[in-house]
Structure 1
């Protein structure tokens, strides 16, 4: 949604304030440094959470968001966030599932709402334990169908990675490689089905289910072949390699991506067992996506020396910064700044997590009583970006969220202030802008002081998240998916970047 579609009744930010925020952000992005390497990433939402009801609930929420993030790429437009509100604070005295996506149209939002209502409906009518196998199958097929666009990209990627990995195994010809090669041949046979958009729905879903029967036991921690593949993926990542060996991390990442949909279903079933009231009386509300604004640009924002001079009033720091950016001109720093500013994708939007937090704040105080079981949580289909993490921290409301992958995106903006919010709303936004600007400037200062080097990063959407053990699918998904012993999942062995 672009600015020319903007609804009236909002108070725009002053250009001076916009430039003051985006200049250090663009500078930091142009330096091309990510502050965390996925090899070191540990998802704390897994630690010590195996039998923690609140952590299980949080996993249910962000996995519900995950199955709504149905399109790969598109500047992350379908990235989705969810919060669950208590009945007595929602309309009609029902549990409210409140959703938001980064950039979806009203018609797309209706499609999401219908999908979620159908999914919740399957769980509402289920009578456990008798219905559990059939419900598991229906939910999985429902999720696979809705996420066909994204899953098709994963299938294409895993097919290429399996072929490359098999070639490497055949060239090595030792016992371990021969064992892995046997598995890879089975995967190739299972990947012969057609997942293109013109293929039948039945062929696509049946093919996915058959593939998952092989991938689920492979991903289990006690699978020897899985351990070998995971070790190879780690070695490639740990050595910062980008070569023909990158097929191993790419394949393992795709295994985790695909199996995650079966994991989602398990948490839906777990939630039904633990909190049946979630599926008795409920409503789904979709918060409209924000309007994308044109990235603020001006000629004097294109030079690094000018930017650093406006980032601090301390003469000594200005000199240090300017000396450093002069050195970086040898690598075209100003040119990179201009590139960032002039990208046709530089249309900042409000990210879905922030949309929900802001929407909640606009309708009353943010207190535990408003959330289901008092668990103040907004779950997202992907870990938070760096700016969303900063926003939640500086908002100081105490609402929990997924851990951040620390990636930096320039097409990020503050939520709108409505004219009805008056001076108080504008002052609150200005306070948040000041806090956010200070965080971004601090990152730039730290980076320059440390002379940090770019860190290796390929995937920004880890499937490191709460999981349940999925036993081998020897006959059918209905009878075999379901042990509910919680264990940690880690997927830091990605290959090429997967946008969105």
Structure 2
């Protein structure tokens, strides 16, 4: 805390958060201007002194006594982004960190085993009616998805919209995006929203021009991801062709179509494309896919992809991957329509607004100190009851044939074990640090380019700690590169109590699920942690992350059995407005 009077101002900004107390000789409530956000500084009317702080939120308290004191508390943020997390904040340390991560690495090892052994449970699929609020959720997911431009998780994005007195605030965060890249994402999002403004007041000819411009802008920004999709598509075609060798009948017909598709996209690239060529290249790709996906071919792909996965897990994987990749590439055209529909539904969101980036956290070093652990040692520390300990150790011993101990040790010591705060948690904690936050239409929701991971679900599930703010439902996958967010010093004892409550809740659930998986030798999760709407049309189902971790807003590859049982047709491969958004530890295009 820094104290300064009406004499020359003394100020300090410790890290990115700071406390500042002002003392006046004759203070009164009139002397303080209560400010929400400043772009110049705090001005107190009594002395006209100005403290220049680029971005801050101020709150004044008058403490009457002798002498009377006025404390002015300021949340200080750097000019490039708001509410980053710094060393002056407090995360979890020491024994608490080990208590969190030891059960986590055991749980992760058990998950790997159950996935490899084909014991992956099918997660629940909900087809809910599309409400206005669910459409809004889809809009937020779509915004986040087009910002998630690189595969493997670094650019996974979350976004929320707050309703201010004069304008809307789009606040977003990415998993691991910094400095200039974060500014580029902010600029892209700002340009996209601006370009959509007033779309429905344009003529038909103008609308088509703007539609093409928006699609081209999205394609250009997402070039790294699209390049990966094209590479994957080519690999999928080669693998699927192997299944069609020396075939007759329908399989031979599909093989012939795959060969034609392979030739059609052989020279397609987006990596060195001029700005005015993105759209023509993409349209050529879509035309090639449309020619390939005849009704007979589509039926064959669906049958092999779905039946193969449900029969023995990973055989026929090339067909499900082919379906998955095609749906993503087709998704970019559809997502533009989602934006256009959103502009028509809520035109005010595209008029007066600002876009605020939240800085990602730097990855921490290995929280277990690269110390090798065994399943036996971890279970021993997880159990206080001797009978339970003996029971769980017996279950662990039965998994040594699949190298449970080696998996635990490898996880503890792998160089890439560097946890960071996930994007939806960054947005949540930024919002929780603000005062008097109002969401658009009071829809307290954080959209994301992928479903919440298992640990984010645990975090949001902590009862009564987040002001009923929800996020995208969980895909059920477990990632150990997850870090508990820092709690700013400004939040004091209440912040520490809240943090401990959330941490205790999470550790309880991790232990329960780890032991349950150990006993059942199966777990929930999915091959792709996105909602992939491959070649069928389904209703958009939106549930919040506080429900069971298996419920999500769109079926994925591993969930299609129920959809097919309900007789969903395949003709939507060309006409459906549904699509996909992420894979593995990835985000990406969403078309639910």
CA distance in 2, matches of 1:210, 1:319: 63
Q: 1:360 to 1:217 in 2, by over 3 A?
A: farther
Q: Is the 8 A contact 1:25 1:410 kept in 2?
A: yes
Q: Which residue of 1 aligns with 2:23?
A: none
CA distance in 2, matches of 1:122, 1:228: 41
Runs (5+) with no aligned partner, structure 1: 470-481
Render the CA deviation track for 1:123-174: whole Å, top value 9, x for unaligned.
0143345233222211111111100001101001112222343454452121
Render the CA deviation track for 1:333-358: whole Å, top value 9, x for unaligned.
22221210111111111100111111
Render the CA deviation track for 1:285-317: whole Å, top value 9, x for unaligned.
111112221122258771222211221322221
CA distance in 2, matches of 1:250, 1:123: 33
Q: Which residue of 1 aligns with 2:507?
A: 437
Q: Is the 8 A contact 2:160 2:171 kept in 1?
A: yes
CA distance in 2, matches of 1:134, 1:43: 38
CA distance in 2, matches of 1:485, 1:179: 23
Q: CA deviation at 1:177?
A: 3.0
The TM-score, its normalising length taken from structure 2, stands at 0.71
Q: Which residue of 1 aligns with 2:528?
A: 459
- The correspondence for 2:258, drawn from 176, 180, 184, is 184
CA distance in 2, matches of 1:204, 1:139: 11
More deviation, 406-415/419-428: 419-428
- The correspondence for 2:282, drawn from 205, 208, 211, is 208
More deviation, 206-215/400-409: 206-215
CA distance in 2, matches of 1:64, 1:404: 18
Superposition map of 1:325-344 within 5 A: 325-344=396-415
1:229 aligns with 2:295: no
Render the CA deviation track for 1:21-52: whole Å, top value 9, x for unaligned.
111001111222568988834553xx2334x2
Q: Which residue of 2 aligns with 1:54?
A: 133
Q: Secondary structure, in 3 states, of the residue corresponding to 2:399?
A: helix
CA distance in 2, matches of 1:66, 1:34: 30
Superposition map of 1:314-353 within 5 A: 314-353=385-424
Q: Secondary structure, in 3 states, of the residue corresponding to 1:286?
A: strand
Q: Secondary structure, in 3 states, of the residue corresponding to 2:512?
A: helix
- The correspondence for 1:40, drawn from 110, 122, 146, is 122
Q: 1:85 to 1:404 in 2, by over 3 A?
A: same
Q: Is the 8 A contact 1:300 1:306 kept in 2?
A: no
Q: Is the 8 A contact 1:154 1:254 kept in 2?
A: yes
1:147 aligns with 2:219: no
CA distance in 1, matches of 2:141, 2:212: 21
CA distance in 1, matches of 2:341, 2:506: 38
Q: 1:134 to 1:313 in 2, by over 3 A?
A: same
Q: Secondary structure, in 3 states, of the residue corresponding to 2:147?
A: coil
- The correspondence for 1:17, drawn from 89, 96, 100, is 96
CA distance in 2, matches of 1:94, 1:43: 37
CA distance in 2, matches of 1:86, 1:210: 41
CA distance in 1, matches of 2:231, 2:506: 39
Q: 1:224 to 1:247 in 2, by over 3 A?
A: same
CA distance in 2, matches of 1:225, 1:386: 36
- Paired residues, what number? 464
> 1 or 2, which has the higher helix percentage?
1
Q: Is the 8 A contact 1:151 1:258 kept in 2?
A: yes
CA distance in 2, matches of 1:160, 1:486: 25
Q: Is the 8 A contact 2:334 2:577 kept in 1?
A: no
Q: Is the 8 A contact 2:151 2:225 kept in 1?
A: yes
Runs (5+) with no aligned partner, structure 2: 1-83, 540-571, 588-592
CA distance in 2, matches of 1:365, 1:321: 48
Q: CA deviation at 1:329?
A: 3.8
More deviation, 201-210/11-20: 201-210
Q: Which residue of 1 aligns with 2:164?
A: 87
Q: Secondary structure, in 3 states, of the residue corresponding to 1:10?
A: coil
Q: Which residue of 2 aligns with 1:96?
A: 169
1:193 aligns with 2:267: yes
Larger radius of gyration: 2
Q: Is the 8 A contact 1:385 1:408 kept in 2?
A: yes
Q: 1:183 to 1:277 in 2, by over 3 A?
A: farther
More deviation, 344-353/317-326: 317-326
CA distance in 1, matches of 2:246, 2:434: 63
Q: Is the 8 A contact 1:195 1:204 kept in 2?
A: no
Q: 1:13 to 1:414 in 2, by over 3 A?
A: same
Q: CA deviation at 1:395?
A: 4.9
1:67 aligns with 2:146: yes
The TM-score, its normalising length taken from structure 1, stands at 0.84
1:403 aligns with 2:473: yes
Q: Is the 8 A contact 1:83 1:377 kept in 2?
A: yes
Superposition map of 1:272-311 within 5 A: 272-297=343-368, 302-311=373-382
Q: 1:257 to 1:329 in 2, by over 3 A?
A: same
Q: Which residue of 2 aligns with 1:115?
A: 188
Q: Is the 8 A contact 1:49 1:56 kept in 2?
A: no
CA distance in 1, matches of 2:90, 2:255: 61
CA distance in 1, matches of 2:333, 2:179: 29
CA distance in 2, matches of 1:444, 1:128: 56
Compute the RMSD of aligned alpha carbons. Answer: 3.2
Greater relative contact order, per chain length (Cα 8 Å cut-off, separation 6+): 1
More deviation, 245-254/391-400: 391-400
CA distance in 1, matches of 2:270, 2:209: 27
Q: Secondary structure, in 3 states, of the residue corresponding to 2:173?
A: strand
CA distance in 1, matches of 2:291, 2:228: 22
